[in-house]
Homo-oligomer: A and B are copies of this chain.
Amino acid sequence: MRNFSSDVRKRNRTSLLRHLHLQGPTTRTALSEALDLNRSTIKSLVDELTEEGLVDESATSGSRGAGRPSLLVVPGTRSTTVLAIDIRINSVSTAVVGLGGEVLVEQRWALPPHERSPAEVCARIARRAAQALSEADHRVRAVGISVPGVVRRTDSVVRDAPNLGWNDVPLREHVSEALGLPVEIGNDAELGALAEGARGVGRTDSDVAYVYADVGVGGGVVSRGTSVFGPRNHVGEFGHMVVRHDGRACYCGCEGCWETEIGRAALTRALGVPEDLDDGVLVRRLRALAADPVSGRAALREPARWLALGLCNLVNVLGAELLVLGGLLAELPPSVVAGVEEAVRTRSIVSKATAGARVVRSPLGTRATLIGAAELAFERTLSSR
């Protein structure tokens, strides 16, 4: 029976660390309830983790009654950290993130078109990351990378990142070799969904379908705090769901993909501004529409229509109930989002048969992918501790 019990103990350790990582400081009593483990098991696990420096215990500020003050178990932020890397079309961000989710160091650099080759991006990531790691007074356990493309889960090869011009790039190998750390790679929209589940809207609601729009459009589903990947471990591509069979041509070969109808180009078209408008200016233009709900809805009528149709399809296909809008969609005026929600509720047969779908804007905004990359690395790190 030795193996069974040590497996059980390891699973309990992982659950405890994951709980502290996601929920923050927690009393032993609350841990015992949340994990459904008896108090002596919790005590022995906490003692062990304290000895290893992974958690600390401290008195609660507001201990009630006359008894002993209840001790809070606190994740040791610097005891376990990961390096998150967010590769976008125009820039790369990196962050060192501690257990519990605190961002300890963050940097970002532009990615001009002539520096987007896999070799150059990998070399630069390696240089910057090595520098960040050498300066750090914390132990980095793993690396998580977000990529705007299709990633094969089995070996983390980037099969196709069209907006970067990448095909079959063994990114994990390159980065892992350069840094000597385990590396996990994920699709940007999928990681945005993971971030929403761990740190955003999904913290209070266990199931989230997330749609992210920038130049590309993607998404993911998080069920009970964990990413749901498609069969065969390939990540789906929400952005290439055809919503308008007679719509604009997409680089993928179809017409009227969600990406062509609600992505950055569709939004600039609707606003009547140049397609290459600066990101900051575009966001300000979208936000300004909130001041005048009527003209805001009028200006965004077309993208809003296709956004609603696609969300309706996701509700009907996936049974999703909470739909989170990320990236540029998180900047849509509240009146437009309310109109989209109304359309999804009244038109989706699944929504009509249930409590009704909700459409909300992501509170994480454009940082969701970086946060998701960190969570991907933590998923691996915490389960192997």
- Spell out A's residues near B (CB within 8 Å): 1, 4-5, 8, 150, 152, 159-160, 206-209, 221, 223, 228-246, 252-254, 309, 312-314, 316-322, 346-350, 352-354
* Least distance between A258 CB and chain B CB atoms (Å): 9
* Least distance between A118 CB and chain B CB atoms (Å): 16
Q: Is the CB of A316 within 8 A of B347?
A: no
21 contacts between A and B (CB under 8 A): A150-B350, A152-B353, A159-B353, A160-B349, A160-B353, A208-B231, A223-B231, A231-B319, A231-B320, A232-B321, A234-B350, A236-B319, A238-B317, A240-B316, A240-B350, A241-B316, A244-B245, A245-B309, A246-B246, A254-B312, A317-B318
Interface majority SS on A: helix, strand, loop or mixed? mixed
Q: Name the residue of chain B whose CB is nearest to the CB of A236.
A: B319
Closest A-B pairs by Cβ, 4 of them: A230-B319, A207-B231, A234-B319, A159-B353
* Least distance between A133 CB and chain B CB atoms (Å): 32
Give Cα distance in the complex from A352 to B253, angstroms: 11
Q: Is the CB of A349 within 8 A of B240?
A: yes
A150-B353, A159-B354, A231-B322 are known contacts; what are 17 more A-B pairs with Cβ within 8 Å? A1-B1, A1-B5, A4-B8, A160-B352, A221-B231, A230-B318, A231-B321, A234-B321, A234-B354, A236-B317, A237-B350, A240-B349, A240-B350, A244-B245, A253-B346, A254-B312, A317-B317
Q: Is the CB of A230 within 8 A of B309?
A: no
Residues of chain B contacted by A313 (CB below 8 angstroms): 241-242, 313, 317
Given contacts A150-B350, A346-B253, contact A312 B242 (CB under 8 A): yes
Residues of chain B contacted by A253 (CB below 8 angstroms): 346-347, 349
Q: Is the CB of A349 within 8 A of B230?
A: no
Give Cα distance in the complex from A4 to B6, angstroms: 11
Residues of chain B contacted by A254 (CB below 8 angstroms): 312, 347
* Least distance between A6 CB and chain B CB atoms (Å): 11
Give Cα distance in the complex from A231 to B235, angstroms: 17
Given contacts A245-B309, A254-B312, contact A350 B236 (CB under 8 A): yes
